[in-house]
Amino acid sequence: MTSYQSRLGEGEGIADELAESQRSISIAEFFEKNRQMLGFDSGAKALVTAVKEAVDNALDACEEAGITPDIYVEIQEAGDYYRLIVEDNGPGITREQIPNIFGKLLYGSRFHKREQNRGQQGIGISAAVLHSQKTSGKPAKITSRTEQHADAQYFELIVDTDANEPEISVEDTTTWERPHGTRIELEMEANMRARQQLHDYIKHTAVVNPHARIELVEPKEHLKYERTTDQLPDETEEIRPHPHGVELGTLLKMLESTDSYSVSGFMQGEFTRVGQKTSDDVIANFNDRHYGREMSWYGPQSHEDSVVPTGQRDGDGEAVEMDVARAVQQAVSNKGKDATAEFADAVASAVSEAGRVSHGRLEAIVDDHADRIEDDYEKTFGDTVREAAIEAAWSEITADRTPDVYELVDEVTTTRKDDAAVQGIAERIADKFDDGSNRVTYAALEDYVDRAAEMTEDMDDATFGETAREKIVDALWEVAARVSDDPPNVSEIADDRDTTSDLLEAMREADIIAPPTDCLAPITAELVEAGLKKEFDADFFAASTRDASVHGGDPFIVEAGIAYGGDIEHDQAQVMRFANRVPLVYQRGACATTDVVKSINWRNYGLDQPGGSGIPNDAAVVMVHIASTNVPFTSESKDAVANIPEIESEIELAIREAARELKSYLNKRRSMQKRRKKENKLATILPEMAEKLATVTGNERLDIDDSMARIMNNVLVEREVEGDTVRVVVENNDDTNADIDLTDIVTAEPQATNGANVVEMDGEWFVKWQTTVAAGDDAVLEYRIDGDAEFDIAVDGVEDEKLTVNA
């Protein structure tokens, strides 16, 4: 058979033949052939992915409407297929929007919003519909009812992959017992080999969404997770991008689309956390890059003391002023002798007092005094006169720049540099400004210093290394004056990529506070811990929530939680990954969260970690949640977070905060274990010693409980009953204060309880007493009873290992 390639070029040109076969590709058609990119790459994973997309949509819809979610998930065996049903009690969907939401890829309301949402791209649920129709040939069945309507809307539809549009086969109204909500029913080729991943997804969703009730019914099991709080996540608000992290292409696009004319208006109107002061800082940074700075120089200096600034030198200030005054006076003509002399003297005096003077500062000095002289003498000092005066004064100020440069170089270089070397590089740097230029960028200044240093090395055999060069550049840049020119307008910046790059760097250099967090709804450390406690029977829990950070202009918050011990399997630690309250079930090894967990030396925190890297082998659960307006996933299936340095750093810091609490707990537990071991040994030895002492001395056997408490530095609680008086004595043998919550349960009514609270319940009296007992001190609770009574005491506030009760 003749191949297509072998026939190319027989008739028309090859390019024409190839062009005839080119056509646009529908996004639905693309994902129909690449369903694995969305998580539908196997029957087992496809079922989990479909459940995930439907449940995520349900949670988002309920929370946006302020409804505590009730979500029902059912999986049925349907012949050769599995039937998936997901119902929620959300606000429902209008008739017009149902076909687009379920039958059109890349259709949604959240993609352009900078606020936290589970769904964002508008692909997930419509991709599940696409997979369903592809594998079973059956349409999706959608029922939805809004609160305003008595009847529910019912649709059966598929995705027309050629046009990426919904193709509706049934549209009707129906009755539904739910007052509002949405139900979707899909049939697809699938299997239950990923049952554990499915259960993990549902369980983990319940952990980070404690406000939701979630029920899963599948062929072999029925799982139900009740809500533990009615508190919905905080409402989020859309924000503008943050200046830190915005990329060049994004900035160009923003510049082209903004309505602002000025840079200041653009910064304040298009970005968050930018007010007038921040905008001014950005513009100043931008001007440094775009216009450069103006070098500042001292006025003329005497030959005998050339490296000392004019303002610090005795005896020559008057001479300096005379040089500048004479030059200005010669430059000004036809303004009258007295007016000209006073103007020249005033300019010269101001230059001398100013110390270092830039060209812009000199212009301001000349303008100020020209305006005053005009008023005093009724003479006009126009632009031509002023420019002549500026040029004359500047010529005197910059007549010899070398001493100024020498002083700066000498200050920042080591004493090992001899005067000849410093003088040589100073002369060569000063020569770079002899072309009359007043402004220089930092990059140009670096080039000046590098060239001068290389020439000095070649000609004077004196070396100025990289560090010395950097110090010289910084010293020169520090004394240079920022320019007050207005920056180019927004359209001019947008037309020049290099200028836009200058603006971007200026934004990154500005000190801008972190982005607001009202666009995010973190779980909070309290609820992270509560969620872990709900699903894991552990001995220890800790959680942390970091402050907001920013990546790519999008703010994000990282939270971490740790559960340890108890019924958690003593095997490899479980790593639970979440993004915007959604569990990440697959691609654990490709996720930044897993990489960070592996990189931490868990042995420093008391966990078993062979080799000092990798997932620890211990009875622990490590949970990480990333809340962001735009989570950087590695693929469209949203199974793993990309390795972004800013995010990895925050994940590590969040985990370490919780891990420090774990370390304290484990250290304390080990200490208590040592105490118990020691106490057990004493409990074996002391009775034998007491017995022998009693035998040898003929005395009664000693009560060893008191001795045990004092040897172990325990808190000792004893009761003494003498007639109708009851005394409970708390003796603190430890070296720290003890906060005691003591409850003495008595079968007779107590009297005169010495400040304790008494509660009667079912014929018993609870004497509740709170006190702080200082180290080495004791405290007494005393009360009276009428007649015989039985006692039972409970003590809180002290670990069992540090407590001895003899009552």
pLDDT tens digits, residue range 402-429?
Answer: 999 999 999 998 777 788 899 999 999 9
What pLDDT is stored for residue 123 in this prediction? Answer: 62
Q: Which residues of the chain have pLDDT under 50?
A: 1, 108-115, 120-122, 302-317
55 and 157 share a domain? yes
Within-domain flag for 155: yes
CB atoms closer than 10 angstroms to residue 337: 8
Within-domain flag for 632: yes
Pair type for strands 764-773 and 738-746: antiparallel
Within-domain flag for 191: yes
Within-domain flag for 9: no
529 Cβ neighbours under 8 A, 6+ residues apart: 541, 542, 543, 561
Within-domain flag for 672: no
The tally of domains found in the chain comes to 6
Tokens representing residue 654 in the block: 């969040």
78 and 210 share a domain? yes
39 and 67 share a domain? yes
79 and 214 share a domain? yes
Phi and psi (nearest 5°) for 81?
-120, 175
What pLDDT is stored for residue 388 in this prediction? Answer: 94
What's the Cα-to-Cα distance from 121 to each of 8, 105, 623, 786, rounded to whole Å? 41, 9, 25, 76
As annotated, the binding site includes 57, 88, 109-110, 119-126, 638
399, 427, 442 - which closes a domain: 399
338 and 412 share a domain? no
399, 415, 443 - which closes a domain: 399
What pLDDT is stored for residue 443 in this prediction? Answer: 92
364, 399, 434 - which closes a domain: 399
Residues 272 and 275: their CA atoms lie apart, in Å, by 9
Within-domain flag for 8: no
566 and 449 share a domain? no
CATH number at residue 618: 3.30.230.10
479 and 505 share a domain? no
What pLDDT is stored for residue 2 in this prediction? Answer: 52
What pLDDT is stored for residue 103 in this prediction? Answer: 80
What pLDDT is stored for residue 315 in this prediction? Answer: 40
Range of the domain at 278: 248-291+487-509
As annotated, the binding site for ATP includes 57, 88, 109-110, 119-126, 638
Average pLDDT, the chain: 84
186 and 41 share a domain? yes
Sign of the CA dihedral running 354, 357, 362, 364: negative
What's the Cα-to-Cα distance from 388 to each of 343, 395, 397, rounded to whole Å? 13, 11, 14
Within-domain flag for 214: yes
Helix axes 402-412, 466-479, angle to 10 degrees: 130
Contact predicate 678/688, CB 8 Å: no
What pLDDT is stored for residue 40 in this prediction? Answer: 72
Within-domain flag for 428: yes
Contact predicate 730/716, CB 8 Å: yes
With a threshold of 0.75, does the pTM exceed it?
no
3-class DSSP string for 707-776: HHHHHCCCEEEEEEEECCEEEEEEEECCCCCEEEEEEEEECCCEECCCCCEEEEECCEEEEEEEEEECCC
What pLDDT is stored for residue 310 in this prediction? Answer: 38
48 and 147 share a domain? yes
Residues 141 and 86: their CA atoms lie apart, in Å, by 11
CATH number at residue 799: 2.60.40.2960
207 and 86 share a domain? yes
140 and 176 share a domain? yes
769 and 649 share a domain? no
What pLDDT is stored for residue 670 in this prediction? Answer: 79
* H/E run at residue 560: strand 554-564
